[in-house]
Amino acid sequence: MLLELLHDGARRCHRRQNAAPPARAGMPASLAVSTPESQAPVPRRVVLVTGLSGAGRSSILHVLEDLGYEAIDNPPLPLMEELVTRGDRPIAVGIDTRSRGFATASVLQTLIRLRQNPAVRTELVFAWAGESALLRRYTETRRRHPMAPSGRVKDGIAAESALLAPLREAADLVLDTSALPIPTLRATIEQRFGLSADHAGMTVSIMSFAYSKGLPPDADLVFDVRFLRNPHYDPMLRPGTGLDANVAAFIAADPAFEPFLDKVTDLLTLLLPRFVQEGKKYAGIAIGCTGGRHRSVHVAHRLAARLTGAPQPGAPQPGVTGNVGEQTSWHVTLNHRELITELAGTRGTTGVWSGAGAPDGSEHAGATAPVQAQEA
């Protein structure tokens, strides 16, 4: 029931924040929208950070603090809402099972109220990692698990996972840090929550991945491109990646490639505006192949290039009158999950490929995009 209230509250808050203000007497509604007095204030950003112990919650808070957020770690839960609503800066609040007065139901109720408050834009980030990764980290640090101070770490992980499951379900962003390097984590947080490049609309994140390494847990849509012919079986192409021109040309020459890309683009043209109507601020699209090096990388790059040219809801269309200043493309970020560690030292640092910052705005085969880290 609480989760239904959370999703409903987020949708209603989104509609209130995007609703046009009423026109003053004697003034046409179209003019009232453009006057400075009628513009609603931009909601202040609030990021609540929670998750499993050892999964990187503190690291996420530190990145947010570096980005300009006022960071508060583990405040007493009864005081959290007052701290958030009375501030005048973007704020990041860390919450975990050690917080005074912690109870999952109380956190969810607070989240509902904050999402219904039009003065703030509240998002919940959940840091997660697999059991083996958490056990390894606790072994390396030799720390006790907060939920098993005198017992086995494995038991503490299981108990905490069960306790926090409703928060993970309610999260706007689930970050799987099991194999996520710190630079990649930082790039992901900067991409999603950076204040200097804040985006009022929805961000579309496209990720290439390998099925052998598991599905991205934050993906809203997953497309399997293993049906395309595989460069892995060509000895000349195997060492390359989907970012290389010869590999890209080989993949694009598959007769099924262009029809598939056309149909996926058509599907997203239908779905993404509906996501916006539901109040989503982020949409994750995952493109998978066997090894995450060739086919998925090239398809992800081509799809990102197409979406940066796709009009957003309400944007002017050819032959249709629109307001000056409206966005005419989706804000797209591109992430090649399996290439991050492999290519970080040979093809540059991590970065964001977006509609405003694409290398050339084209979608020709072999165009090179930066390798960038993921939200998940």
DSSP state string for 158-195: HHHHHHHHHHHHH-SEEEE-TT--HHHHHHHHHHHH-S
Place 250 in a pLDDT band, splitting at 50, 70 and 90. very high
Express each pLDDT in 293-332 by its tens digit: 999 999 999 999 999 874 444 333 333 222 223 334 788 8
Express each pLDDT in 52-74 by its tens digit: 999 999 999 999 998 889 999 98
- How far apart, in Å, are the Cα atoms of 97 and each of 2, 15, 211, 226, 335? 19, 33, 33, 42, 32
Query: What is residue 226's predicted lDDT score, i.e. its pLDDT?
Result: 96
* Domain 2-7+42-178: CATH class, spelled out: alpha beta
Express each pLDDT in 211-221 by its tens digit: 998 888 888 99
Express each pLDDT in 333-343 by its tens digit: 888 888 875 65
Q: What gap in Å lies between CA 4 and CA 146, rounded to an integer?
A: 30
Q: According to CATH, where is 3.40.50.300 located in the chain?
A: 2-7+42-178
Q: What gap in Å lies between CA 110 and CA 323, rounded to an integer?
A: 37
Q: How many CB atoms lie within 10 A of CB 35?
A: 12
Report CA 149 to chain centroid distance, whole Å: 34
Q: What gap in Å lies between CA 371 and CA 350, rounded to an integer?
A: 5
**Beta pairing, strands 331-336 & 44-51:** unpaired
User: What is the C-alpha end-to-end distance of the chain, expressed in Å?
Assistant: 25
Express each pLDDT in 5-55 by its tens digit: 555 555 555 454 444 444 444 444 433 333 344 455 788 899 999 999 999
Strand, coil or helix: 128? strand
The answer for residues whose C-beta is within 8 angstroms of residue 40's C-beta and 6 or more apart is 17, 21, 118
Output the pTM of the full model.
0.56
pLDDT surpassing 80 at residue 290: yes
